[in-house]
Amino acid sequence: MSDSEPDEELLELLRKSLGINGGNAQKAPDTRVLTDAEYIYNHSIDVALDTHGTKAAATTIWKLMQEKEYSFKTWSEHSLHPKSKDESTVNFIFLMDLLNFCFWTEQSDHTQRFAVEYQGRRYTGYWSLVAAIHRALEEDILITTPSSWVEGTGYSDEVLRHVFRSATAEQIPLLDHRIRCIREAGRILAADFEASVLKLVSEANNSAAALVNLLVSHLPCFNDTAIFESRPLRFHKRAQIFVADLWACFEGQSFGSFDDMDKITMFADYRIPQMLHSLGCLRYSPSLESHVRNLEEIESGCSWEVQLRGCSIWCVELIRREIARRYPKAEINAVLIDFFLYDSMKEKELEGTETIPHHRTRSMWY
C-alpha cells in the first residue's frame, strides 16, 4: 500500500466507533441516556431509590394499568391530542414537543395563572400549549408549517406572541425562549431537511434512538445535557418525547413505526419525580426535601436537579424491569410507564391529593 492509499482496516475501525455503516458491520444507534442515568444514580447523594418501594410501585402501576386498559392508544383518547394520521399531525407533534417545557407558575391563585381559552374552556399547563396550537390553526394561522417559523419570511414575533396569548394577566413562561426555539427549528429544518419534519423522521430509518440523535445533533434546542461530577450527561427529554408521541399517536405504525422503542427512557421532567416520591420510590436528603416543600427554585443544571432527573430515569427503568420479571407476558416500556405516571400525577393535582410539590426549575429542557 502506498502512502497515498487509505488504510481500509483503519477506516472500518473508525466507522464502527462512530456508528457509521461500513462493509457488513452496523452499530445499533443508542442515545446513552439510560447509561448516563445509571451513572447519576450511582453517584447521587441527595436523591436515593427505595428498593422495596420501587418493587411495590411496579406491582401497583401494572395492576392499575391493567384495570384502566392503559396502552399507547390512551394517548389519542385525550381530547386535545390530534386525531388525524398524516403529515399535518407529525408537524403538530413536532411543534408541540419543540415547546413542551416549563408551565409551572408562582401564582398562589391558580385562577390567575397562564391559561388558554379554547372552545369555551380554559386550559393550563401542558394542555394550554396544545390548545393554543389548535386555536391558532382555527384562526387560519398555519403555526404547524415549518416554513412559517423562519425569521424574515415566516410569521412575525407579534403573530407568535398572539398565538400564545393568555386569558389572564400572566403570560406563558419563557415566551422569548419558545420563540427562539421556533426560529431555530425553522432555520435548521429549511437548511438541512428541505423544511420538512417528515424528511427528518425518515432519515432515522425507523430507529427511535437514531431520531433522538438526529434531533439533538442538528437542533441545539433539543440537546438537553448537563455536567455532573465533571462528566457530560444526556437527558434529551423533548427529543425522546417527540419519538414517543409519534409512536403513541400512530400506534406504532406509519410515521410512528420504530424498531427500538426500548431505547427510549422516561422523560426527565418535574412531574415524574414528584409521582415517584409519592409512591415511595424516591427519597430526598433533608436539605433537598425542605427546598422542594418550601417551593424554593432549584437552578437548572445544578447537582440537585441533575440527581432528581437522573435518578427518576433509572427508577422508571427498574420499575420496567420489575414488571417484566413479575409479568413475563407484559408488553411494557418506559414510555408507557412515564405516560401513566404523568396522567396519574395530574389526577392527583386536580383532586388536591399531592403529598409533595414538584421541584421548581425554570428551564427550556422540560
Q: What is the set of active-site residues?
A: 269
Question: At residue 261, what are phi and psi to the nearest 5 degrees?
Answer: -60, -20
CA distance 131 to 25: 46
- Pairwise CA distance, residues 64 & 220, whole Å: 38
Beta strands at 225-228 and 47-49: parallel, antiparallel or unpaired: unpaired
Helix axes 334-351, 303-326, angle to 10 degrees: 110
How far is residue 67's CA from residue 2's CA, in Å, rounded to a whole number? 69
CB atoms within 10 A of CB 345: 20
* Amino acid in the structure at residue 139: E
Helix (H) or strand (E) holding 225, with range, is strand 225-228
Instruction: List, in order, residues 6 or more apart from 142 with CB less than 8 Å away.
Output: 148
Residue located via cell numbers 399531525: 89
Cα–Cα distance list, 223 to 45, 165, 226, 278 (Å)? 26, 27, 10, 29
Q: What's CA 236's distance to the chain center, in Å?
A: 7
Burial grade of 4 (CB within 10 A; 0-12, 13-18, 19 or more)? exposed
Q: 200, 337, 202: which is closest to 264 by C-alpha?
A: 337
Distance CA 127, CA 219 (A): 24
Compute the distance between CA of residue 137 and CA of residue 102 in angstroms, rounded to an integer. 23
Residue 201 in contact with residue 236, Cβ under 8 Å? no
